[in-house]
Amino acid sequence: MTTTTSTTTTAQRPAAEALRKLTRIVPGFPSEGIVFEDLTPVLADPESFTAVVRDIADTCRDMNADLVGGLDARGFLLGSAVAYELGLGILAVRKGGKLPPPVLRAEYDLEYGSAALEIPAEGIPLEGKRILLIDDVLATGGTLKASRELLERAGATVCGLAVVLEVEGLRGRDRFSDLPLYVVSTGQRSGMTCDATTANDGQDNE
């Protein structure tokens, strides 16, 4: 698999500059030893939010998604806006217990605990659909992995991933070496030759 990077430097990209200026760093939250990167100021600023959304949409357009999957909760905000830019619908990947039955459910480990994600088992035709998954931060990769599992169990293919920030030391990207992954804060765009076939090769089942 090949790896490519953005031809525009990070300093020249409005989205990356907005993240550098407005992301709030909060040590010791939600637990001791965790450094929380709060994107709320970025999302609340119209120009910065627009820059981040357009950066993701423009970079991921050639993934040819049929639907955007936004992960609970900030992935809802980002995913909805990116879906609008791409002319696509949005699928909310919810935390456990928020959807009426029947649901597909997967449990996963967080950076600081454990949780579960769910998607509807009925009502949304996912069979054969190509899904672009969007979240705010890639840490251990547990939430994205669980989301991918749910979608593949529903017959869909995850055709790419996009996040705003990455906690590189946790090596979450190693779980998705077969998928296109875009990280806004660095402008890094890896594995962009992935297609629907190779996306299914790394299916994880918990």
Of the candidates 111, 149, 152, 166, the residue annotated as catalytic is: 111
| Peptide bond connecting 73 to the previous residue in cis, omega within 30 degrees of 0 | yes
- The answer to whether residue 149 is catalytic is no
Can you give the chain as a three-state secondary structure string? CCEEECCCCHHHCHHHHHHHHHCEEEECCCCCCCEEEECHHHHHCHHHHHHHHHHHHHHHHHHCCCEEEEECCHHHHHHHHHHHHHCCEEEEEEECCCCCCCEEEEEEEECCEEEEEEEECCCCCCCCCEEEEEEEEECCCHHHHHHHHHHHHCCCEEEEEEEEEECHHHCHHHHHCCCCEEECCCCEEECCCCCHHHHHHCCCCC
- The answer to whether residue 74 is catalytic is yes
Of the candidates 54, 74, 85, 153, the residue annotated as catalytic is: 74
Separation between Cα atoms, residue 46 and residue 29, nearest integer Å: 26
Q: Which residues contact 57 (CB under 8 A, 6 or more apart)?
A: 82, 85, 86
| 119: its two tokens | 């998607």
Catalytic residue positions, numbered: 74, 111
